Amino acid sequence: MNNKLNTYGFGNSAAGVTDVVVRNRVLRNTYWLLALSMIPTVLGAWIGVATGFTMMAGSPGLSLILFFAIAMGFMFGIEKTKNSGMGVVLLLAFTFFMGLMLSRLISATLSFSNGPALIMYAFGGTAAVFATMASIATVSKRDFSGMSKFLFVGVILLILASVANIWLQMPALMITVSVIAIGIFSAYILFDVQRIVNGGETNYVTATLAIYLDVYNVFANLLALLGIFGGNRD
C-alpha cells in the first residue's frame, strides 16, 4: 500500500515537475473519489434506517466478528484490484456497506427531537476537521510520518476498548473512546493526506480508502458524542 515514487526527481528538473504533476493528480483524484464515495454511504445509511437494518440482532459479539470479516474482505479486494476499475467498484460497494453499518447510529440519533440538527452538526464538524487537517498537511513543511506507529497503536487500543465495552457497557468508557477516536482519526487525516503530497501514496483508490475511513470514524464518533450530550427526548 505504501508505494513510493522512486522514478522521479533525481537530478532532473523535468522529472521534478513530473513528480509534482503526478502527486497533484493523485490528490485531485483522491478528493473526487472521496466525494463520490459519500453517495453510496448516504444511500446505505438511508436504506439501513428505512429497513431497521442490524447485522445480527441480539448478538453483538458475532455482529462485530462478521463486520470485521466483511470489512477486511472488502479491503483485501480493493488492494488487489486498486490499479483497475474494479478497485473503484469495490471501494464504492464498501462505502455502501459502511453506510449500512452507520444506520443504527443514525436511527438512534433520529430518535431525538433534535436528531436531524445533530447529524448536520456532526457533518459540519467533520468537514471542518477534514478541511483543517488537509490544509495543514498540504502547506506544512513539517514531516508527520513519525506519527505512524503511535497512531497505529492508538487504533489497536481503541478497538480493544470498544470490544471490551460491548460487554462492560460503561458509558464513561464509551465517551472516552469516542473522544480519543476523534483525535486519532483527525491526526490520521493529516498523516494520510501528507503521504499523498509527499509521494508516499501514488494510488488514488487506496488513498481514498484510507482517508474515507478517517473521515467516517471522525463523523461516527462525533455524532455519538453529540447524541450523548446534546440529544433531546422532548
Q: What is the pLDDT of residues 189-212, one digit of tens each?
A: 999 999 999 988 999 999 999 999
Q: What is the pLDDT of residues 10-61, one digit of tens each?
A: 344 444 556 788 888 999 999 999 999 999 999 999 999 999 888 766 677 7
pLDDT for position 145: 87
* Residue 8 located in a structural domain: no
- Distance of alpha carbon 21 from alpha carbon 103, whole angstroms: 39
**How many domains, in total, are found in the chain?**
1
* Residue 59 located in a structural domain: yes
pLDDT for position 58: 65
* Residue 26 located in a structural domain: yes
Q: What is the pLDDT of residues 113-133, one digit of tens each?
A: 999 999 999 999 999 999 999
Q: What is the average pLDDT score of the chain?
A: 89
Nearest to 158 by CA among 100, 94, 74, 217: 217
- Distance of alpha carbon 155 from alpha carbon 43, whole angstroms: 27
* Residue 48 located in a structural domain: yes
* Residue 214 located in a structural domain: yes
pLDDT for position 36: 97
pLDDT for position 178: 96
Is residue 159's pLDDT more than 70?
yes
DSSP 8-state code for residue 145: G
Is residue 2's pLDDT more than 60?
no
Domain ranges, residue 157: 13-230
* Residue 2 located in a structural domain: no
pLDDT for position 123: 96
- Distance of alpha carbon 132 from alpha carbon 42, whole angstroms: 23
* Residue 120 located in a structural domain: yes
pLDDT for position 4: 38
pLDDT for position 18: 61
Q: What is the mean pLDDT of residues 212-224?
A: 97
* Residue 78 located in a structural domain: yes
> Can you say whether residue 210 is alpha, beta or left, with left for phi > 0 and alpha for psi between -120 and 50 degrees?
alpha
Q: What is the pLDDT of residues 166-176, one digit of tens each?
A: 888 899 999 99
